[in-house]
């Protein structure tokens, strides 16, 4: 296992790398601590930076954690040109992340990370508990369209960090502060033509997204099979997860706990990280009391 010095330095977090089943190098940030540890899986188009503030609080609480850049994202490797991206690879990568941390950790998965984590749990029984962040087995199509619309809106990239910050601010008008160049450094890469492009491999849109079509039945089956404590944290202003999809989720997993953060959108951990991490830490504390962790609680 090779652990080169990271390009992305996150205060209080240690860099490491681990290998996917096909040998691809995946970049991660870890914190030491006692178990069960936490494996944090980000959403499509994000990086492990999305979990940095939460990991720092987990470290302060003595909790071991590992967050990684999904394949084709951030500092992790990209599939070779003759090796198409496929949803199954991402499911396997979640299981490999759990093995890299060791023990039987808790999964914290946002959006894509939550769905692939659900499938990994169904196939590998890798986790002792699940925390799903604004994702349910069914989702609102309009929310997906808005996300993909933004991700495909700038095929020519950006001419400056300020240009990218303007576009992100327009996409996330509820955020009070604009992204600074240093905050955008992990999201953008300098292309050969000198312009700034997203950190993720553009092939993901043409290969990974279509590979997940028709998976809702399998995701529902995986949800029905959950036999460990589970927490759903949704955003009250999310356009992907709604009261309707939450109700359906709780029908599939009646023992699940649900916490809604009223002011958060789909970007829950980014919109209200303190409230999100508070809910996560409370859930972790309750895991020592099985009757509390498995009692449905929609708030």
Would you say residue 244 has pLDDT above 60? yes
pLDDT of residue 4: 37
Q: DSSP label at 158?
A: B
Whether the CB-CB separation of 21 and 38 falls below 8 Å is answered with no
Sort 165 into a burial class: Cβ within 10 Å, 0-12 / 13-18 / 19+: middle
Average pLDDT across the chain, whole number: 91
Question: CA angle 233-54-101, nearest 5°?
Answer: 95
Question: N- to C-terminal Cα distance for the chain?
Answer: 44
d(CA 255, CA 134) in angstroms, rounded, equals 18
What 3-state DSSP class applies to 241? coil
Would you say residue 292 has pLDDT above 80? no
Q: Please give the torsion angle defined by the CA atoms of residues 248, 249, 251 and 257, in that order, rounded to the nearest 10 degrees.
A: -140
pLDDT of residue 295: 43
Widest distance between CA atoms in the chain: 58
pLDDT of residue 296: 47
- In this predicted model, what pLDDT tens digit does every residue of 75-108 receive, in sequence order? 999 999 999 999 999 999 999 999 999 999 999 9
Q: DSSP label at 128?
A: S
d(CA 250, CA 119) in angstroms, rounded, equals 17
Would you say residue 2 has pLDDT above 60? no
**CA contacts within 13 A on the Cβ side of 38:** 31
**For residue 118, which of 230, 209, 208 has the smallest C-alpha distance?**
230
Class of domain 14-145+201-293 (CATH, top level): alpha beta
- In this predicted model, what pLDDT tens digit does every residue of 196-243 receive, in sequence order? 999 999 999 999 999 888 888 999 999 999 999 999 999 999 999 999
DSSP 89-151: HHHHHHHHHHHHH-SS-EEEEETHHHHHHHHHHHHH---SEEEEES--SS--HHHHHHHHHHH
d(CA 11, CA 148) in angstroms, rounded, equals 31
pLDDT of residue 188: 94
Q: Please give the torsion angle defined by the CA atoms of residues 100, 105, 106 and 112, in that order, rounded to the nearest 10 degrees.
A: 20
Would you say residue 185 has pLDDT above 90? no
Domain boundaries, the chain: 14-145+201-293
Region 285-299 average pLDDT: 59
d(CA 51, CA 42) in angstroms, rounded, equals 8
């Amino acid at each position: 296992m090779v652990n080169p010095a990271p390009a992305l330095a996150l205060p209080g977090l240690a860099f490491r790398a681990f290998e996917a089943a096909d040998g691809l190098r995946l970049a991660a940030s870890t914190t030491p601590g006692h178990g069960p540890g936490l494996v944090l899986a980000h959403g499509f188009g994000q990086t492990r930076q999305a979990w940095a503030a939460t990991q720092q609080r987990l470290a302060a609480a003595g909790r071991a954690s590992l967050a990684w850049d999904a394949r084709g994202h951030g500092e992790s490797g990209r599939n070779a040109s003759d090796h198409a991206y496929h949803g199954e690879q991402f499911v396997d990568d979640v299981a490999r992340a759990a093995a890299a941390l060791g023990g039987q950790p808790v999964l914290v998965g946002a959006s894509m990370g939550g769905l692939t984590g659900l499938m990994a749990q169904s196939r590998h029984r890798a986790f002792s508990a699940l925390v799903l962040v604004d994702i349910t087995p069914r989702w609102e199509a309009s929310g997906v369209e808005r996300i993909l619309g933004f991700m495909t809106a700038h095929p020519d990239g950006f001419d400056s960090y300020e240009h990218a910050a303007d576009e992100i601010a327009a996409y996330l008008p509820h955020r009070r502060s604009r992204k600074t160049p240093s905050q955008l450094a992990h999201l953008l890469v300098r292309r050969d033509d000198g312009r700034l492009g997203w950190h993720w491999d553009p092939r993901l849109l043409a290969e990974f997204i279509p590979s997940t079509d028709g998976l809702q039945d399998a995701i529902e089956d995986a949800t029905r099979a959950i036999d460990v404590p589970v927490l759903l944290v949704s955003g009250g202003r999310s356009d992907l997860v709604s009261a309707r999809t939450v109700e359906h989720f709780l029908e599939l997993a009646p023992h699940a706990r649900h916490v809604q953060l009223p002011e958060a959108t789909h970007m829950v951990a980014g919109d209200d990280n303190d409230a999100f991490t508070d809910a996560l830490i409370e859930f972790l504390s309750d895991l020592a009391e099985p009757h509390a962790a498995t009692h449905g609680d929609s708030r």
